[in-house]
Structure 1
């Protein structure tokens, strides 16, 4: 089944449930995320040209999925309505004109792309000068996915800010007030950044909003940001979790998986998807 046909079967599920279903089926990450993007934005082609942020949205979609596939999904749901099909045709024409109908939008560099998505009103063709001074790695993944193992193997010797370690250090339970933990984590991050020293921010970071804050702090101090999403199949995640010293209740992991948003290439200078099966 191709990406459009698969998306059409999951339109009513919504982005999060569609991702969960495909993850449980073992669908490869890139294919799964393209489908999730089509499900999330299924109605965008209808009235798209009225959106003031359209270019930014289209560019972001193009980094994960194809906008011509999105147009195909919309056309298939139009029910033969000529007015809606005309809007889809205009959508195709416009995305072709701005260079992201059937391919990812191209930027002068990864730094230019990163700054475009974090700077309202920026020209996507602007070749932003890369003044980064260090690299910050922002981890993302469910408990038991293997984030700690990846960090130990791939970033040896780099300082790690772990929210789990800080909870233990401060005596804060995972179900308690996380304010002191987060405050301590950001204080340590800024110490590293002021010294021009990179670090790993190790937390679940399952939503775009959570990642955005840690990414913004790093970027404000001119750090290069790499986002690393580590995942494994559901049975592997639960098995590893039960073997951990700090076990997370399985029901909590299931709830976390229900709101999981995988990082996309607009979130950092680089975004790495790691299948840690």
Structure 2
């Protein structure tokens, strides 16, 4: 269970039953768009996405499990239900399936998670831990419905426990089912109950799964032949520290204060030393090439170092981390975050200012580092 020192709520959006939907719609104007988004009649006979969203929120508030939660957990779940289908507005389309025209919304949960993170970060300065619970609940809200049918259901519930609270996830999924009209509602609820039992069996129902070591966690999440309780001998002899964060967040300052004794491979430094244009694709390719050459010199010597770049997406990080792991490095990601307003102020005070619109664009693409990416992750936020 998370602990927040002071109460945090979005102004005008209170959990008081009956809900004041006029105030909620006024605060979240994107809800209006959902009124025009249709849904497949087989799964959603209730109609448009907005109607479904209201029914899901109302179903959540009636749950006894919800009433038993503390106020912070209630607010996290309340906003998660409100946001859970936000990107059906951008992903809904018609497809021919088995000779029939169907309405589908592929990847709406994944895209929705990014949208939620962006809104809560940019507009509401939501505390990091609360925001990430909401974003990850939106990302995973369909998991309890299909986890039991996956190749490795145990791994699915263990992974989700590292991202959010599985009990809350189950409550969101049940609300999602109860807040719709469909023929197979009982079958879906039964699948969710199997998800619940599997989480409890793995002791990750309302807490993260406990691994024997961080190394064991990394191996389990990245390989199919490792048991979750495996405690491997740690044969990693040196560490590579990967910085991640928006321009202006203070990565250079953090390194100077905490990691000054480490050699550093820095994309920005390479770019400046060679007077490369950051908007030139060929120049950027050269920066990457030179950085890899610098890194490989240190990797061959088994010498610890810092890799300093924005590293904002999982795909970008993976390209580098796979290189480091190939050399048997222990990889630690340090993710830095501050309120957006403070980041923009710090950026304007730097010698090399990044255009504000670039930072705002990058902020919408952030993938918060997850535990499958590295042996250790530190989140340094405020």
User: Under TM normalisation by the shorter chain, which class is it?
Assistant: over 0.9
Q: Which residue of 1 aligns with 2:347?
A: 241
Match of 1:218 in 2: 324
In the alignment, structure 1 residue 142 sits paired with structure 2 residue 246: yes
Query: What TM-score comes out, normalization by structure 2 length?
Result: 0.69
Q: 2:83 corresponds to which residue?
A: 10
Contact 1:160 1:200 in 2 (8 A): yes
Match of 1:205 in 2: 311
Per-residue deviation at 1:243? 1.7
Q: By how many angstroms is 1:19 displaced?
A: 0.9
Q: Higher mean Cα deviation, 131-140 or 22-31?
A: 22-31
Stretches of structure 2 that go unaligned for 5 or more consecutive residues are: 1-71, 87-111, 180-184
Consecutive unaligned residues of structure 1, counting only runs of 5 or more, are none
Structure 1 residue 39 displacement after superposition: 0.7
- Check if 1:253 corresponds to 2:354: no
Q: Return the match for 1:122 from 217, 226, 236.
A: 226
Could you tell me which of 270, 286, 290 is aligned with 1:166? 270
Residue 51, structure 1, aligned to residue 150, structure 2: yes
State how far apart, in whole Å, the 1-side matches of 2:83 and 2:147 are: 22
1:139 CA drift (Å): 0.6
- Give the whole-Å Cα distance in 1 for the aligned partners of 2:357 and 2:156: 34
1:97–1:31 CA distance, 2 compared to 1 (3 A): same
Q: Is the 8 A contact 2:145 2:188 kept in 1?
A: yes
- Contact 1:63–1:266 (8 Å) recurs in 2: no
Partner of 1:82: 186
Checking the alignment, whether the CA contact within 8 Å between 2:147 and 2:157 is kept in structure 1 is no
2:128 is aligned with 1:29: yes
**Higher relative contact order (Cα pairs below 8 Å, separated by 6+ residues):** 1
Q: Which moved more, 1:9-18 or 1:129-138?
A: 9-18
Contact 1:30–1:64, Cα closer than 8 Å, also in 2 = no
Return the alpha-carbon distance in structure 1 between the equivalents of residues 160 and 292 of structure 2: 30
Whether 2:262 is the aligned partner of 1:154: answer no
Within the candidate set 205, 220, 227, 1:101 is matched to 205
2:143 alignment partner, SS class: coil
Could you tell me whether the CA contact under 8 Å between 1:142 and 1:257 is conserved in 2? yes
Distance 1:170 1:185, change over 3 A: same
Match of 2:298 in 1: 192
CA distance in 1, matches of 2:297, 2:203: 41
Alpha-carbon offset, residue 53 of structure 1: 4.3
Task: Report how far residue 77 of structure 1 moved.
Answer: 0.9
3-state SS, counterpart of residue 78 of structure 1: helix
- Count, aligned residues: 276
Corresponding residue for residue 289 of structure 2: 183
Whole-angstrom distance in 1 between the partners of 2:220 and 2:289:
28
The whole-number CA distance in structure 2 between the counterparts of 1:170 and 1:122 is: 45
SS at match of 2:145: coil
Q: Quote the RMSD (CA, aligned, Å).
A: 1.6
Structure of larger gyration radius:
2
CA contact (8 A) 1:230 1:274 kept: yes
Name the CA shift for 1:83/1:273 in 2 (closer, same or farther; >3 Å): same
Give a deviation string over 1:38-59, Cα, whole Å, max 9, x none: 1101111112211124333322
Of 191, 196, 204, 1:92 maps to 196
- The answer as to whether partners of 1:162 and 1:201 remain within 8 angstroms in 2 is yes
Measure the CA separation in 2 of the matches of 1:53 and 1:257: 33
Give me the whole-angstrom Cα distance separating, in 1, the residues matched to 2:277 and 2:222. Answer: 34
CA shift in 2, pair 1:47/1:265, >3 Å: closer
8 A contact 2:167–2:196 mirrored in 1: yes
Distance in 2 between the 1:138 and 1:57 partners? 26
